[in-house]
Every structure is written in C-alpha cells, then in structure tokens.
Amino acid sequence: AQTVTQSQPEMSVQEAETVTLSCTYDTSESDYYLFWYKQPPSRQMILVIRQEAYKQQNATENRFSVNFQKAAKSFSLKISDSQLGDAAMYFCAYRSAETSGSRLTFGEGTQLTVNP
Amino acid sequence: DTAVSQTPKYLVTQMGNDKSIKCEQNLGHDTMYWYKQDSKKFLKIMFSYNNKELIINETVPNRFSPKSPDKAHLNLHINSLELGDSAVYFCASSSILGLAGTDTQYFGPGTRLTVL
C-alpha cells in the first residue's frame, strides 16, 4: 500500500517570501500522479498543482512549483511571493495511474501561516 | 454554477439517529467518491462509484451505505450514528477519460457532521 508523509505539521512564512513544504511517499508502482491540495479555513479542498510521475519536468502554476525527485520519492511544493491568502492547510496526495478512478492517498497535512 | 455540491453543509444530530448527506456534480464526471476528514484533519477514502457501480469500498462500518441513483449523484446514508462518526465528509468527482490517470478529483465543500 502507498503511504504519504508530510513531516512538517506547521510552517510559517513572511508575506512576499518563499516557503517550501515537504512531502515524501512510498510506492512500488512506476506510474502515478502526485497532487498538492490547499484547504483554507473555509474547508474547501482546492487543487493547487499536479505532477505526472512519467514527466521529468517539474510542474509549475504561477507562484506554485514543485520539486519532484522520483528516485528519492520526494515531492515538495514551493510557494513564491507568499500572500496572505496562501494561509491554509496543504495536503500532499498520491494516486495510482495503474487503475482508473483510484483513490487519493493523503499526507497528514502542513498548516501554513503567512505573517504580514 | 457550483461544480460539486453537498447538502447539508452542517449537520448536528443525536446518537442513534439516521442521516443522509447528498452530493451532486455538474461536471459530467463518471466517478464519484466519499472521503472522511477526522478531527486531526486526516483525509481517507471511504467509497468510490464509477457509472453507478461501486469500485472502492474501504473498511467502513456497514452503518454507512452509499447510494448512486445516477452518475451525477452519490449520496451517503448513515444509520445508528455514533459519537465517533463526527467528522467532515467530502464528496469528490473525476472523469476517466480513456487514459488511466487523467482523472483529477474535484471536491465538494464538505459536510461537517456533529453527533451529540
């Protein structure tokens, strides 16, 4: 079974600075997808970014980018120019690409605080 | 034009009662999911349906029964509610578009269930 670990329960960053959230995972599969979801206080789960394991190029979405290290099974999220609205719980998630419609396996989450 | 909606958003009830949570998606997706988020914010899959057929059924008490009348709806019925059922329940949907792995999951706003 796959597992996802987020070793940082809490992180803080100053507004306009850069922060990196860590995620590691364990799997025996070669083809899979990785995601970062954001959950603000409204509790809505919002997709931030996704990465296909077969792609070597790191995914980027505006101020959000990932550092995907397949051999190390590491998938960190970098938030540049942090904004107050980035404050939220961030979840890393894994999904197998070998089975359509398969589940998301989530990490424990990292609570990000943005200080003005 | 809400993509994935859930009703109700809040549900407070007494132990032993039976309650239902409804989920609807207007994204044209063919796969729907129920996730449970516990008090520590940990998210875990409960069920998944594809075209009204159950494809994932985690180790969930049989007091929980999902029902999918059509591929746009997935309801969750809970019998004999217990204190430990208190949590936030998320519905999600995705589309299996031929190639395995293209189905990013989109979440509803969540239903906070409190059992007294």
Widest CA span in chain A: 44
Cβ pair B101:A52 closer than 8 A: yes
Res A11: pLDDT: 97
In chain B, the residue whose alpha carbon lies closest to the alpha carbon of A107 is: B42
* Backbone torsion region of residue A74, taken as left when φ is above 0, otherwise alpha when ψ lies between -120 and 50, otherwise beta: beta
The arithmetic mean of pLDDT across residues B72-83, rounded, is 96
In chain B, the residue whose alpha carbon lies closest to the alpha carbon of A90 is: B41
Chain B residues with CB under 8 Å of A32 CB are 101
Chain A residues with CB under 8 Å of B105 CB are 95, 104
pLDDT confidence tier of residue B101, bands split at 50, 70 and 90: very low
Res A72: pLDDT: 95
- pLDDT at position A20 over 90: yes
- B40 DSSP assignment: T
The arithmetic mean of pLDDT across residues A41-68, rounded, is 93
Chain B residues with CB under 8 Å of A106 CB are 42-44
pLDDT confidence tier of residue A104, bands split at 50, 70 and 90: very high
The arithmetic mean of pLDDT across residues A24-38, rounded, is 93
- pLDDT at position A45 over 80: yes
- Tell me the average pLDDT of chain B: 90
Please report how many Cα atoms fall inside a 13 Å half-sphere around the Cα of residue A38, on the Cβ side: 16
pLDDT confidence tier of residue B71, bands split at 50, 70 and 90: confident
Res B99: pLDDT: 47
- Secondary structure (3-state) at B19: strand
Res B98: pLDDT: 46
- pLDDT at position B13 over 70: yes
The arithmetic mean of pLDDT across residues B83-104, rounded, is 79
d(CA A62, CA B100): 27
Percentage above 90 pLDDT, chain A: 84
Q: Are B69 and B49 in contact (CB under 8 A)?
A: no
In chain B, the residue whose alpha carbon lies closest to the alpha carbon of A41 is: B109
- pLDDT at position B97 over 70: no
- pLDDT at position A53 over 60: yes
Residue B46 phi, psi (nearest 5): -110, -55
Cβ pair B31:A106 closer than 8 A: no
- pLDDT at position A40 over 90: yes
Taking any CB pair shorter than 8 Å as contact, residues of chain B touching chain A are 31, 33, 35, 40-45, 48, 50, 55-56, 88, 90, 92, 94, 96, 100-101, 103-107, 109-110, 112
Q: Are B18 and B80 in contact (CB under 8 A)?
A: yes
Q: What is the CA radius of gyration of chain A?
A: 14
- pLDDT at position A103 over 90: no
Which residue, among B111, B39, B32, B101, has the nearest Cα to B67 in the 3D structure? B32
Cα torsion angle, B89, A32, A36, A90, sign: positive
Cβ pair B101:A47 closer than 8 A: no
Task: Give the 3-state secondary structure of chain A.
Answer: CCEEECCCCEEEEECCCCEEECCEEECCCCCEEEEEEEECCCCCCEEEEEEECCCCCCCEECCEEEEEECCCCEEEEEECCCCHHHCEEEEEEEEECCCCCCCCEECCCEEEEEEC
Beta bridge partners, A14, equal A115
Minimal C-alpha gap between A7 and chain B (Å): 14
The arithmetic mean of pLDDT across residues B38-49, rounded, is 93
The arithmetic mean of pLDDT across residues A65-69, rounded, is 97
Interface test with B, best of A2, A5, A32, A43 (most B CBs within 10 A): A43
